[in-house]
Amino acid sequence: MEPFKVHILGCGSALPTLKHFASSQVVEIREKLFMVDCGEGTQIQLRRSRIRFTKISAVFISHLHGDHCFGLMGLISSFGMLGRTAPLHVYAPAEFETMLQAQIDLFCHGLEYEVRFHAVDTTVSQVIYEDKSLTVETIPLQHRVPCCGFLFREKPTRRHIRRDMIDFYHIPISQIDNIKCGADWTTVEGDTIPNARLTTDPDPVRSYAYCSDTKYMPTLHKLIEGVNLLYHESTYDSSCANRAELFYHSTSQQAAMVARDAHVGKLLLGHYSARYDDETAILQEARAIFPHSELSQEGMSVSVL
């Protein structure tokens, strides 16, 4: 199977700490790299991760709070100094476009590549990016400012042709693609060999949902049903449930409820409040509801399976 990984660059919240960086991830899928949120310190984390970050083709910004976007301007500037020529696509709430362009004009005059801005409607679930191998959909969330998550979903691949069948029936190379697409094979004797005998099932479709800052949404699970991997903010444990409600954040228990109701494969917790020196309580409370829960940490790479 082609690589499908989530690289955690930062999983802290708004206040800087010595333990966690602000929110940022890189989604690696079929040799493509996409950034999700870009808080301060993202460039340092990219260097540490040894990700070839010049290959990042698009940045998805969930909302306009600084811990999710303050690092973007520095990244754009560095791309310019590194001689980037390929366009960089930025997907973000519409309000960001004017400010981003003003910063580019001020700090990056004469930039030799194009930054293409795509306004995102955070109130609806829709496909905002598509290529031959995947789609990216928005996930409307409820925060203090317009906010959405992002759902990365592979497109179905073709069937796998069996090497022993190629050799046995002397199938020419010119016909392999047709058979992968479902065609049968007719031998020189006129016998039809059904496709099911010539091929094996394609790789299962994989998906990853990134749910940024949001209050608990009882119906959120309907939009992310069955995803292989879910990242859901878990700023607080249950002792701070009142603060979570006040500031439109979620507890780890609430994140686990979403994961359980959506029947996801694995839950990644993140966006920890700076009040926690140890996130053990956050993890324990989540696992009591959804056992396949895990703490995200900087430097972690998680395969989507």
- Structural Rg of the chain based on CA atoms: 22
Q: Per-residue confidence of the chain (305 residues) as pLDDT tens digits?
A: 889 999 999 999 999 899 999 999 999 999 999 999 999 999 999 999 989 888 999 999 999 999 999 999 999 999 999 999 999 999 999 999 999 999 999 999 889 999 999 999 999 999 999 999 999 999 999 999 999 999 999 999 888 889 998 888 889 999 888 888 899 988 888 889 989 998 898 889 999 999 999 999 999 999 999 999 999 999 999 999 999 999 999 999 999 999 999 999 999 999 999 999 999 999 999 999 999 999 999 999 999 99
What is the fold, at CATH topology level, of the domain defined by 4-157+203-303? Answer: Metallo-beta-lactamase; Chain A (3.60.15)
**Residue in 67, 121, 201, 261 annotated catalytic:** 67
Every domain range in the chain assigned CATH 3.60.15.10: 4-157+203-303
Q: Is 302 within 8 Å of 229 (Cβ atoms)?
A: yes
- Reduce the DSSP state of residue 79 to 3 states and report it: helix
Q: Is 130 exposed, middle or buried (0-12, 13-18, 19+ CB in 10 A)?
A: exposed
For residue 67, indicate whether it is catalytic: yes
Closest CA to 130 of 160, 91, 169: 91
d(CA 13, CA 39): 9
Q: Which amino acid is at 31?
A: E
d(CA 295, CA 297): 6
d(CA 270, CA 211): 10
